[in-house]
Structure 1
Amino acid sequence: MNHSDERAQRPIRPHEDPFHEPPADLHALAPGAIIRTRQVQLAFLGLIPQRTQAWQLAFRSTDLDGTPEVAVTTLVVPDGFEPGEPQRLIAYQCAIDAVSDRCFPSYALRRGARAWGALPQFELMIMAALLERGHVLTLADHEGRHGHFGAPREPGHRVLDGIRATLSFAPLGLESSTPVGLFGYSGGGMASAWAAEMAPTHAPELSIVGAVLGSPVGDPGEAFLKLNRGLNAGLPALVVSGLRHAYPGLARVIRQHANVAGQRRLDKLREHSTVTAVITHAFNDFDDYLDIPLADMLALPEVLHVFDDLRLGVRIPTCPLLVVQSTNDQIIDVDDVDIQVEKYVDGGAEVLYLRDRFSEHISLMILGLPAMLDWLERRFDGEQAPVGTSTVNSIALSGHSIGRSLPAFLRLFGAAAKTVVGRAG
């Protein structure tokens, strides 16, 4: 599809888009094998076209149960990109944090997309900062076509196979040994953690130099319990809405114990963006939608199995890690991330863990961004990764932050401003 075609029509949502359909020989393809490609145009909020060159690749990957599937990644190259020149590739995992395919980067980032409240549309400003530093980006739909928000392992499969597809995409001219960095925050941090954990067994040939895990959730089951009945109660509801389609046992328990209002609530969430889900389901309580107490339902074997399966930290990444987390995070409890990091360290991983007192969940992504980007740049440069745990008043102002200076933030804000006016590239 060329740019003139792109302007002539709105993008099709993934569940209806033939681009996402499997070929007849899907089982015969290797993980990461490209099935089809197209050139697309990106736009901020779906409205403001960007100057960047972008493509989408449909490729073979694997779902939670080991079944071959089609996944999609969006490639973006920086201004002045020259095919065949040495490059640095970043697999950027968006905070999809929804079940609706309106929120998948392959749809939400395109010109004409109708995706109000989809977080990847706002993350385009962060991507612009990465592009300005000269990086090639690959942005996988890490929840899969059916929106399995919170599912374990398969986000890692899709991210890693998306990297494989990107490296083999001829127009970019990338070498198979191209250094790769993983980057994500919140739901994107969780997907990045799965990619880092799955890489040693699923894609050991990739040259992953480091992974930035921003507020990576740690224990989705514990997050579910802590967010229920609170301001962000819509987030655990979204997770349940998606996971019931990945776990038959969980779906069976929900059919048995959720009342009519609860069933309708989960069904409606399939069309909600992250923002609309949070707004419309604030302070909801799962107990109001069940015929047994929530505590009793959570003790059922089918539910315990899901909670155990979701927990990060069982597999140990072999690449260096930077984990950042606010001690005052209103969404992700710092204690759960502490445990995740402890498991990594006990397993022998190289981890620099920075805990921030000043920020909360959203502000840390902005205030910590220069430090996160500079840490990843140093891994690309081959420098030895620092390790240890520090609790600081502010990552932006601490000795750990190489990018704490005003020019670093001005550069970031400049990239964001260019995105808003359609000049990012």
Structure 2
Amino acid sequence: MLVGLVFSCFTTGLAHADDWYPIYNEDAYTEFYTPPSPLPDVAPGELIRAEPSRLVLEPSGQLGVIQAEATRVMYRSTDGRGNPNVVTGTYFEPWAAWPGQGERPLIVYGPGTQGQGDQCAPSRQFNQGIHWSPYLDIMVNYEMGFVETLVRRGFAILMTDYEGLGTIGITHTYVNRLSQGHAMLDAARAARKLPGTSLSPDGPVAFWGYSQGGGAAASAAELALAYAPELKVVGTYAGAPPADLAELIPYADGSALVAVIGYALNSVMQTYPEAEPKIRALLTPRGVDFVDKTREQCVGESITKFMFRHLQPYFQYPLPVLLADPQFRGLLDLQRLGTLKPNAPVLLNGNRYDPLVPFGPVVQLGKDWCAHGSDIELRTNEGPPIFNKLVINHALPMVVDGEQAMAWITDRFNGVPTSPNCGQF
């Protein structure tokens, strides 16, 4: 019966898409998501524009809504080269009161991998629940469950889209350490500049993310002291962060999510355009097709069109040779996490047998931070390997360990002492 209701709502949505501006008509997003030119000369974190945003769990809205008022925002941030840019996102003002200690807390939420096309931006997905257009361009807003749970527990949230995801004219800088960390930190600043919220100007903030979001949260944690020292950061949850991109490549090879390598290469070419000719020279015609197509796709389409493909046919040279090349490897090493000290406690989490984001670099990240004197707790998901190339052991811990992560974050806002385990991993 439930399946039938969902199908009915979804097909009704397809039949009457124009009734729900601007769900399926991506052109309706153009005005808001086009960056101003020139960019306003304002400080990082300043709001550029904001407007109310529709929240639904599925296209028709008949199955309920997230228990919050939503505002779509565009704010000033900084890209991976230190240049000013703009980033979009969604602020969620909970209907529920905060039952914990002190002021209402803010969670800056880094979403997991959505894809690279503008239509994949979470701030658009919350308007739709399910995105669909012809040629298998399909995406489900899988972050909605966590957002709904958190706002029901009284947390305010600002979920960033990151650089270029949704923002017209800029390729999404997927897993770029600096641009993602800056986007998270400036999201915290922007949330407090919105009028009419329950946030105080100097209230507590935490960072949250898993997978790509885990890397973004980890980056925000270690950049906070230098980039946004005024923020009152109480903690960071970084689940399965891709701490070393060079190590990720052989894991992604042949998996259902092999397209993340296409996203990463497009990200490098956006951030370092001087490297684009060399990168394209490394690609075979199939490789060029791979990076050009993934640049416009969401995860759903990328899976259907590229799942289980091997990377070697996309490159002119053996992958080990490429990874040994100082220039190619150097671009990846720029994204390594762990060289700076977080200014607040961090909960790291990963599956020992994660088939996409290797567990070893997650452990090394914890060790590096511990060596800096950071307050780190590493938790290991011991779920056994299951159909590795389907990346089940990467996706499932996001759900399985989510409740424990929420409890840990809640404790940070309530002043509960931490339980660091440096030296035990």
In which range does the TM-score fall when normalised by the shorter chain? 0.7 to 0.9
Mark the CA change 1:193 to 1:236 in structure 2 (over 3 Å): closer, same or farther: same
8 Å CA contact 2:113–2:211 kept in 1: the answer is no
User: In the TM superposition, what are the counterparts of 1:231-250 in structure 2 within 5 Å?
Assistant: 231-250=256-275
Mark the CA change 1:16 to 1:246 in structure 2 (over 3 Å): closer, same or farther: farther
Q: CA deviation at 1:302?
A: 2.7
**Corresponding residue for 1:415?**
none
Mark the CA change 1:68 to 1:205 in structure 2 (over 3 Å): closer, same or farther: same
Alignment match of 1:139 (pick from 159, 169, 184) = 159
Aligned residue type for 1:370: E
Aligned residue type for 2:147: M
User: In the TM superposition, what are the counterparts of 1:143-158 in structure 2 within 5 Å?
Assistant: 143-144=163-164, 145=167, 146-158=171-183
CA deviation string 1:223-281 (max 9, x = no partner): 01332234432222322233222222441222222122211121111222213323322
Taking the aligned partners of 2:119 and 2:401, their CA distance within structure 1 comes to 28
8 Å CA contact 2:246–2:323 kept in 1: the answer is no
TM-score by length of 1: 0.84
Taking the aligned partners of 2:310 and 2:193, their CA distance within structure 1 comes to 47
**Corresponding residue for 1:381?**
414
Alignment match of 1:103 (pick from 97, 116, 120) = 120
Taking the aligned partners of 1:328 and 1:24, their CA distance within structure 2 comes to 47
Task: Determine if the alignment matches structure 1 residue 369 to structure 2 residue 402.
Answer: yes
Q: CA deviation at 1:69?
A: 1.1
**Corresponding residue for 2:106?**
89
Taking the aligned partners of 2:290 and 2:333, their CA distance within structure 1 comes to 25
CA deviation string 1:162-204 (max 9, x = no partner): 1101011111152221111111111111111111111111111
Taking the aligned partners of 2:190 and 2:19, their CA distance within structure 1 comes to 23
Structure 1 unaligned blocks of 5 or more: 393-425
8 Å CA contact 1:354–1:390 kept in 2: the answer is no
Taking the aligned partners of 2:220 and 2:60, their CA distance within structure 1 comes to 31
8 Å CA contact 2:209–2:237 kept in 1: the answer is yes
**Corresponding residue for 2:84?**
68
**Corresponding residue for 2:388?**
none
**Corresponding residue for 1:206?**
231
Taking the aligned partners of 1:15 and 1:301, their CA distance within structure 2 comes to 44
8 Å CA contact 1:297–1:303 kept in 2: the answer is yes
Q: CA deviation at 1:65?
A: 1.2
8 Å CA contact 1:43–1:111 kept in 2: the answer is yes
8 Å CA contact 1:140–1:162 kept in 2: the answer is yes
Alignment match of 2:319 (pick from 288, 294, 302) = 294
Q: CA deviation at 1:332?
A: 1.4
CA deviation string 1:316-353 (max 9, x = no partner): 11110011111121211111111111101001110010
Aligned residue type for 2:214: G
Taking the aligned partners of 1:74 and 1:11, their CA distance within structure 2 comes to 19
Mark the CA change 1:14 to 1:71 in structure 2 (over 3 Å): closer, same or farther: farther
Mark the CA change 1:66 to 1:244 in structure 2 (over 3 Å): closer, same or farther: same
**Corresponding residue for 1:128?**
148
User: In the TM superposition, what are the counterparts of 1:11-26 in structure 2 within 5 Å?
Assistant: 13=26, 17-24=30-37, 26=39
Q: CA deviation at 1:25?
A: 5.9
**Residues 13-22 or 313-322, more deviating:** 13-22
**Corresponding residue for 2:42?**
29
Taking the aligned partners of 1:214 and 1:68, their CA distance within structure 2 comes to 28
**Corresponding residue for 2:343?**
318
Structure 2 unaligned blocks of 5 or more: 1-17, 385-392
8 Å CA contact 1:90–1:183 kept in 2: the answer is yes
**Corresponding residue for 2:6?**
none
Residue identity over aligned pairs, in percent, reads 25
Other structure's SS at 2:143 match? helix
Alignment match of 1:349 (pick from 364, 374, 389) = 374
CA deviation string 1:83-109 (max 9, x = no partner): xx9311111111134211222111111
Q: Between Structure 1 and Structure 2, how many residues are aligned?
A: 385
Taking the aligned partners of 2:395 and 2:94, their CA distance within structure 1 comes to 26
Taking the aligned partners of 2:416 and 2:158, their CA distance within structure 1 comes to 24
**Corresponding residue for 1:277?**
302
**Corresponding residue for 1:170?**
195
Taking the aligned partners of 1:133 and 1:58, their CA distance within structure 2 comes to 26
CA deviation string 1:10-54 (max 9, x = no partner): 376499622233335635201111111100111224443615310
Mark the CA change 1:255 to 1:68 in structure 2 (over 3 Å): closer, same or farther: same
8 Å CA contact 1:160–1:203 kept in 2: the answer is yes
**Residues 279-288 or 90-99, more deviating:** 279-288
